[in-house]
Chain A
Amino acid sequence: MMNASDSSKDWADGVHELFKTHQVDIVSFVPDGGLRRLIALCQADPGMHAVTLTTEQEGIALAAGAFLGGKRAALLMQSSGVGNCVNMLSLPRVCNMAFLSLITMRGEWGEFNPWQIPMGQSTPTVLEACGVFVYRVDTTEDVVPTVEAALLLAFQSRRRVAVLLSQKLLGAKNFARGDK
Chain B
Amino acid sequence: MSMLHRRDVVRDLLRGRGDLVVVAGLGAPAYDVAACGDEALNFSLWGAMGGAAMVGLGLALAQPERNVLVLTGDGEMLMGLGSLATIATQHPPNLHIVVLDNERYGETGQQATHTSAGADLAAIALACGIPHVRTVRQADELVALQNDLYRRAGVSFAVVKILPEDLPRVLPPRDGAFLTQRLRAELIGAERALEG
Q: Is B127 in the interface zone, CB < 8 Å from A?
A: no
- Smallest Cβ-Cβ distance to B43: which chain A residue: A68
Question: Are A66 and B86 within 8 A (Cβ)?
Answer: no
A13-21, A33-41, A131-139, A150-158 - the one binding chain B: A150-158
Most A CB within 10 A of own CB, among B53, B58, B83, B192: B58
Q: Chain A residues near B83: list those with CB within 8 A.
A: 54, 58, 61
- Select which of B45, B58, B80, B89 is within 8 A of A63 by beta carbon: B58
Distance in angstroms from A160 CB to nearest chain B CB is 12
- Smallest Cβ-Cβ distance to B80: which chain A residue: A58
Tell me the bound Cα distance from A57 to B57 in angstroms: 13
Q: Is A67 in the interface zone, CB < 8 Å from B?
A: yes
With contacts defined as CB atoms under 8 Å apart, how many contacts are there between chain A and chain B in the complex? Answer: 124
Question: Are B55 and A68 within 8 A (Cβ)?
Answer: yes
Question: Are A70 and B86 within 8 A (Cβ)?
Answer: no
- Select which of A69, A72, A96 is within 8 A of B187 by beta carbon: A69
Q: Chain A: interface residue count, which band?
A: 35 or more
Tell me the bound Cα distance from A82 to B84 in angstroms: 21
Q: Chain A residues near B37: list those with CB within 8 A.
A: none
Tell me the bound Cα distance from A52 to B89 in angstroms: 8
Q: Is B115 in the interface zone, CB < 8 Å from A?
A: no
Distance in angstroms from A153 CB to nearest chain B CB is 10
Q: What per-residue 1/0 map shows which CB atoms of B57-70 lie under 8 Å from chain A? A: 11111110000000
Question: Are B180 and A70 within 8 A (Cβ)?
Answer: no
Tell me the bound Cα distance from A142 to B43 in angstroms: 39
Q: Chain B residues near A65: list those with CB within 8 A.
A: 23, 54-62
- Select which of B48, B63, B80, B193 is within 8 A of A91 by beta carbon: B48
Q: Chain B residues near A52: list those with CB within 8 A.
A: 86, 89
Distance in angstroms from B148 CB to nearest chain A CB is 20
Question: Are B48 and A70 within 8 A (Cβ)?
Answer: no
Most A CB within 10 A of own CB, among B23, B62, B177, B196: B196
Q: Is A97 in the interface zone, CB < 8 Å from B?
A: yes
Most A CB within 10 A of own CB, among B23, B61, B183: B61
Q: Is A126 in the interface zone, CB < 8 Å from B?
A: no
- Select which of B59, B60, B180 is within 8 A of A97 by beta carbon: B180
Q: Chain A residues near B23: list those with CB within 8 A.
A: 65
- Select which of B49, B51, B61, B85 is within 8 A of A64 by beta carbon: B51
Show 6 A/B contacts (Cβ-Cβ < 8 Å), sorted by A.
A54-B83, A59-B54, A66-B61, A68-B55, A91-B51, A94-B177
Q: Which 3 pairs show the lowest CB-CB distances between chains A and B?
A: A65-B58, A69-B62, A155-B196
Having A58-B80, A65-B23, one finds 8 other A-B pairs with CB under 8 Å, namely A54-B85, A58-B51, A61-B50, A65-B61, A65-B62, A69-B62, A88-B51, A91-B55
Give the interface of B toward A (CB within 8 A). Answer: 23, 43, 45, 47-63, 80, 82-83, 85-86, 89-90, 176-177, 179-180, 183-184, 187-188, 192-193, 196
